[in-house]
Structure formats: C-alpha cells, structure tokens
Amino acid sequence: MSQTEQIQIFANIAALPGKEAQLREILTSLVPHTKAETGCLAYVLHEDIKTPGAFYFYEVYKDEAAVDAHRQSPYFAEAFAKAGPLLSGKPSIILTKFVAGH
C-alpha cells in the first residue's frame, strides 16, 4: 500500500453550549470501533484547548473503500444520530491525499 492511495480526513465537529460532555462521550465511543476496522490506519480525536466542545478528528484510511466502509458502519450511523441534536452546526469534513513530508 502506498501513501498516495491513503485517504486522510480532517473533521471538525462542534457542540452546542452545554452539550460538550454529551458530544465528547459519543465521539469518544467511535474510537475503539473505528480503530478496529481493517482499513483504518489512524483515528484520533482532539478537543480545542481554548474552545471546549470544538472537536477535531484526524483519520487515515488505506483507501477510499475503507472510508466508505467506515461511513456505512452501524456504530457510525448510531453515533451521529445521537450527536445530531447536540451539534452547533454541520460538521466540516475534509478528505485529503498525501503530498509530501512526514
């Protein structure tokens, strides 16, 4: 597998005021399931230090098929169904490909 086939995703998800802890719990629950996926190479959740409730995922998948499998997983659908009412807006999802560096 080459790095040029890999898909990196940067996702920003923000909670409504007062819903930070609930959203954090839901997003955290995705980590072990997703890391166990065959095509997942990295799945890391971050939270903004200065803005609690602003969450960022850094994800790496071996290819587009692995991204599709993740998005179609039952735990992904369940988590975002629960998270929907807690969000301050639509998540920002950016798919990228490797260019240079390391």
Condensed to tens digits (0 to 9), the pLDDT of residues 72-96 reads 999 999 999 999 999 999 999 999 9
Domain extent, residue 43, equals 17-96
- Tell me, what's the pLDDT at 1? 52
Answer yes or no: is 2 within a domain.
no
Q: How many CB atoms lie within 10 A of CB 43?
A: 20
Average pLDDT over the chain, rounded to whole? 94
Residue 10: which of 97, 102, 101 has the closest Cα? 97
User: How many distinct structural domains can be found in the chain?
Assistant: 1
Answer yes or no: is 40 within a domain.
yes
Answer yes or no: is 86 within a domain.
yes
In whole angstroms, how far apart are CA 6 and each of 44, 84, 99? 16, 28, 11
Is the pLDDT at 3 greater than 90? The verdict is: no
CATH code for the domain of 28? 3.30.70.100
Is the pLDDT at 100 greater than 90? The verdict is: no
Answer yes or no: is 28 within a domain.
yes
- Tokens 């659908």 appear where? 77
Answer yes or no: is 91 within a domain.
yes
Is the pLDDT at 55 greater than 80? The verdict is: yes
Answer yes or no: is 101 within a domain.
no
The whole-model pTM stands at: 0.90
- Tell me, what's the pLDDT at 98? 86
